Amino acid sequence: MYSIPTLEVTHKPNAIAVLTSGGDSPGMNPAIRGVVRAALNQDIRVVGIHKGYSGLITGDFEEMNSASVTNIVQRGGTLLKSDRCLAFKDPKVRKLGAEILADNQIDALVVIGGDGSLTGAHLLCRETGIPVIGLPGTIDNDIYGTEDTIGFDTAVNTALDAIDKIRDTALSHESLFLVEVMGRNSGFIATHVGIACGAEMIVVPEYEVKVDTICYQLAHNRQTGQGSSGIIVVAEGPIPGLTYSLAHQLEANGQAPKVCILGHIQRGGSPSGHDRVLASCLGASAVDYLCAGISDIMVGVQNGAICATPLAEVIAHKKALDPVLFQRALLLHK
């Protein structure tokens, strides 16, 4: 359970807008609900922006009431829809976004998304003065300033559900599987999934692993009676599908791997209980911070406590995969 800071209401906005941006993640809906319900509890008007920054710059808005977020806490995806809006990288377009907010009497914004979305949020706030709060919404868990992101837990469990099934057929046929999981350039999903599914090896972008090392590990498993089937969890890296090139290298070294790319199923599905609680608390806390006159921050969680980190700090750092955790993960397969 999270400890939640008590903040004094000193700068209550008249109207808060909320949007979801970038790759969607399971838990965005409970986060939206947290923002909407917490704001309405304070008699603040709430406006939902459709399709992320694309909807902001076209004024694609909807007035939200308590019923707007009924029956969404358990639903994957995002009620508000999401988008990637390259135009928002242009300061003139961000200025237009701020003007559209002002024209609609909206005086604060909550952005739920990954590092790109949080970059846009920070620039909008810094350049136009509109109070903006970011919430970490991504399955990748690659956001600095928070231990956990909305959707990570669900994505890990979705991947595990699939890999447990792959394990059955791998054992039956004594096959080796390379299972590619999402995570862009970070190995958080792969490491957690690898530990939890008992993978024979984990390949992540952060640490180089040689094909020889993988072959050695597989030979060692056979010699020690662990059988010749196996699961190697591979983080996708910069481009989905690179796992095929690892498979070719293994084939050249006498292995016969099969490749399974889990892909976008990891982004869907009903959010886990953990993600629902995290998202609800972060959504409601975003409103608390705005009402306390604090903005240009991301609300995240550290040591079990809801906390704020300046957006400038969040986007300036890359969250590192804990090397001790990764080494521990590898040791468990030996």
Are 83 and 53 a contacting pair, CB within 8 Å?
yes
Choose, by CB under 6 A, the member of 18, 133, 139, 234 that binds ligand F6P: 139
Strands 61-64, 45-49: parallel, antiparallel or unpaired by DSSP?
Answer: antiparallel
Q: CB under 5 to 8 A by kind: which of ligand ADP, ligand F6P, none does 26 bind?
A: none
Q: CB under 5 to 8 A by kind: which of ligand ADP, ligand F6P, none does 139 bind?
A: ligand F6P
Shortest Å, Cβ 310 to ligand ADP: 17
Subset of residues 6 to 35 that bind ligand ADP, contact rule: CB under 6 A:
21-23
Pick 196 or 312: Cβ nearer ligand ADP: 312
Strands 305-310, 176-181: parallel, antiparallel or unpaired by DSSP?
Answer: unpaired
Q: How far apart are the first and last CA of the chain?
A: 34
- CA 66/CA 68 separation, integer angstroms: 5
- CA 302/CA 312 separation, integer angstroms: 18
Applying CB under 6 A, which part among 33-41, 48-56, 176-184, 296-304 lies near ligand F6P? Answer: 176-184
Residue 48 found at the interface with ligand ADP (CB under 6 A): no
DSSP secondary structure of 249-286: HHHTTT--EEEEE-GGGGG-SPPPHHHHHHHHHHHHHH
Pick 76 or 113: Cβ nearer ligand ADP: 113
3-state secondary structure of 108: strand
Subset of residues 26 to 85 that bind ligand F6P, contact rule: CB under 6 A:
none
Choose, by CB under 6 A, the member of 30, 48, 114, 136 that binds ligand ADP: 114
- CA 38/CA 302 separation, integer angstroms: 22
Are 311 and 297 a contacting pair, CB within 8 Å?
yes
Phi, psi of 244 (to 5 degrees): -60, -35
Best CA proximity match to 25, nearest among 109, 86, 134, 112: 112
The structure tokens listed for 314 are: 């969040």
Number of residues that bind ligand F6P (CB under 6 A): 10
- Site map 138..157 versus ligand ADP, x via CB under 6 A: x-------------------
Choose, by CB under 6 A, the member of 27, 34, 76, 120 that binds ligand ADP: 120
Choose, by CB under 6 A, the member of 23, 30, 113, 136 that binds ligand F6P: 23
- Site map 240..279 versus ligand F6P, x via CB under 6 A: ---------------------------x------------
The packing angle between helices 152-173 and 188-197, to 10°, is 50
Choose, by CB under 6 A, the member of 97, 145, 183, 230 that binds ligand F6P: 183
Q: Is 83 a catalytic residue?
A: no
Residue 88 found at the interface with ligand ADP (CB under 6 A): yes
- CA 125/CA 111 separation, integer angstroms: 11
Shortest Å, Cβ 122 to ligand ADP: 8
Pick 151 or 257: Cβ nearer ligand ADP: 151
- Ranges assigned E (strand) in 32-87: 45-49, 61-64
- CA 222/CA 220 separation, integer angstroms: 5
Residue 138 found at the interface with ligand F6P (CB under 6 A): yes
With vertex at residue 138, the alpha carbon angle to CA 136 and CA 141, rounded to the nearest 5 degrees, is: 80
Residue among 24, 115, 140, 296 flagged as catalytic:
140
* CA-CA-CA-CA dihedral for 59, 290, 112, 325, to nearest 10: 170
Applying CB under 6 A, which part among 37-45, 72-80, 137-145, 166-174 lies near ligand F6P? Answer: 137-145
Chain residues binding ligand ADP by CB under 6 A are 21-23, 53, 84-86, 88-89, 113-117, 119-120, 123, 138
Chain residues binding ligand F6P by CB under 6 A are 23, 114, 138-140, 182-184, 236, 267
Catalytic residues: 140
